[in-house]
Amino acid sequence: MSEGYLEAIQKAFDSKLMAFGSTNSIIIALENINAPTSADKPYLAGYLLPTEVESADLYFTDRRDGVYQVDVNYAQSTGSSKSNAMNDKLNAAFSPGSDLSRDPVCVSILRVVPGPLIVENGWAKRPLSIYWVTHTERL
């Protein structure tokens, strides 16, 4: 295994989000990579939020799950229509029941949940939580 499970899961989501950004002409900021500071450039920020690792069977496989959160960021005082439209596009791209693969994992998307619009520091941010699960060999 060239990379760990956690890194493979993150890269599976990050790659999909980068492709989505390219297709939809919007800037993508990944974890620990600088995001735009000017509110005149909307962007999406992706974060992996894993939960605990559980034994899935008699210690041969692990069940890993969590949330991949995408924050949709537009300038404040511009209403909610652009962020709502982007959330709909993201929901279609990361649709429940679909899978993302990156050796050695196949991540299944369980559900997609939009959050409330949060206005702060010049931005109107609407988070989108993408719930996922995968099974891996026990380390």
CATH number of the domain enclosing 59:
3.30.2000.20
Question: CA dist 5 to 12, 51, 67, 89, Å?
Answer: 11, 13, 15, 28
Q: What total number of domains does the chain contain?
A: 1
- Residue from 116, 135, 138 nearest 127 by CA: 116
Q: What is the pLDDT of residue 60?
A: 75
Q: What is the pLDDT of residue 107?
A: 97
- Residue from 41, 121, 31, 26 nearest 68 by CA: 31
Q: What is the pLDDT of residue 1?
A: 46
Residue 124: domain span: 5-137
Distance, in Å, from the CA atom of 131 to the CA atom of 38, rounded to the nearest integer, reads: 30
Quick: pLDDT tens for 92-138.
999 999 999 998 999 999 999 999 999 999 999 999 999 999 988 87
Quick: pLDDT tens for 12-30.
999 999 999 999 999 999 9
Residue 82: CB atoms within 10 Å: 15
User: Does 58 have pLDDT greater than 90?
Assistant: no
Which is more confidently placed, 65 or 37?
65
Q: What is the pLDDT of residue 136?
A: 87
Q: What is the pLDDT of residue 52?
A: 87
Q: Are residues 45 and 72 in contact, defined by beta-carbon separation less than 8 angstroms?
A: no
Q: What is the pLDDT of residue 35?
A: 84
Residue 62: CB atoms within 10 Å: 17
